[in-house]
Amino acid sequence: MRSVWRGAISFGLVTIGVRLYTATEEHDFRFHQVHREDGGRIRYKRVCQVCGEEVAYADIAKGYELDDGRVVVLDTEDFDKLPINTDHAIDVLEFVPVDEVDPIYFQKSYYLEPDKAATRPYVLLRTALERSGQLAVVKITIRQRETLAMLRARDDVLVMHTMLWPDEVRKPDFEFLGGEVEVRPQELKMASSLVDSMAGSFDPADFTDDYTEAMQKVIEAKAEGAELPERPEAEESGEVIDLMTALERSVEQAKSARGGKSAGRKPAAKKAPAAKGSAGAERKAPAKKKAKPA
């Protein structure tokens, strides 16, 4: 991996030198726009709307259009003069419980690697976060853009999640939110039973990326001139059933799929019986009570 940022965590009077690495990568297919006739790539020219001339990349600046139509042109020097702290620092502002942070604010994830001289304070902060069950609220400037972020401990490393600001999260504005929707007790009871019958422990490795696998098959078939795989036909059900009946049948299907057990969690592994003489294998005999003096 290649680091994308280098700086230091400012934790009180403690400074922890770190490098930032992108923690995730998307395995999506990257398609190019091509000419259908000969497969040639489609290229786009940078043309000015005013003079109609093609513009070299070195002559391109950033512009912001005001409400009155005027365009404010900003160059690199203007961004360098932004009145914000652009030091390479991750400033810890406070520590908060994990369950107080809504995941909707999380944006992008990064791994933090300590500098050789900062390994000890790095491990100290990581261990403190693990034991406290809290997240560190921090501020960081990346590419001249200040952002809020969270630090947490994961698999022996510190992970930083950049976050959206509150005004960047849209509020849901749906018509049904203004009315009252009746939920019958028996429906809620059956829905809870369905949740319980499908409950389990989350393991990302249990799920597969069906889209990627299917797209790979299509690309390979096209490349070899073979017949394309067919999409499986969806089962159509002309029967119209009410909500309660749908819930009852869903519970039956879930229980059947999981061997008839109401809870879908994997059974805990049974411990092998301890051999005699091993630690904790034999119980101590209860201590005899002392006789009361006459």
The CATH number given to whatever domain includes residue 126 is 2.40.290.10
Residue 259, by phi and psi: left (phi above 0), alpha (psi -120 to 50) or beta? Answer: left
Within a domain: 146: yes
**Rounded Cα distance, 84 and 146, in Å:** 8
pLDDT value of position 69:
92
Q: Tell me whether residue 201 is in a domain.
A: no
Q: How many domains is the chain partitioned into structurally?
A: 1
Look up residue 141 and give its two tokens. 């400037």
**43 to each of 52, 57, 66, 276, how far by Cα in Å?**
17, 15, 31, 77
For the chain, how far is it from start to end, CA to CA, in angstroms? 80
Structural domain contains residue 22: yes
- Dist CA 172 CA 224 (whole Å): 48
Antiparallel, parallel or unpaired: β 89-97 and 5-11: parallel
| pLDDT at res. 232 | 77
- For 76-128, the pLDDT digits (tens) are 888 878 877 767 899 999 999 999 999 999 999 999 999 999 999 999 999 99
Residue 142 is predicted with a pLDDT of: 87
Task: Decide if 46 is inside a domain.
Answer: no
Q: Which positions of the chain have pLDDT values less than 50?
A: 260-294
Q: State how far the Cα of 4 lies from the Cα of 21, in Å rounded to an integer.
A: 6
Radius of gyration of the chain, Cα coordinates, nearest whole angstrom: 30
Q: Read off the pLDDT of residues 55-82 as tens digits, 9 standing for 90 and up.
A: 999 999 999 999 999 999 999 888 878 8
Residue 108 placed within a domain: yes
At residue 16, φ and ψ (nearest 5 deg) are -120, 105
Establish how many alpha carbons lie within 13 A of residue 144's alpha carbon, considering only the half-sphere containing its beta carbon. 8
* Domain-embedded: residue 91: yes
Residue 51 lies in a domain: no
- Is position 239 within any domain? no
Give me the domain span that covers residue 118. Answer: 3-26+84-168
* pTM of the full structure: 0.72
pLDDT of residue 81: 81
Residue 237's pLDDT is 64
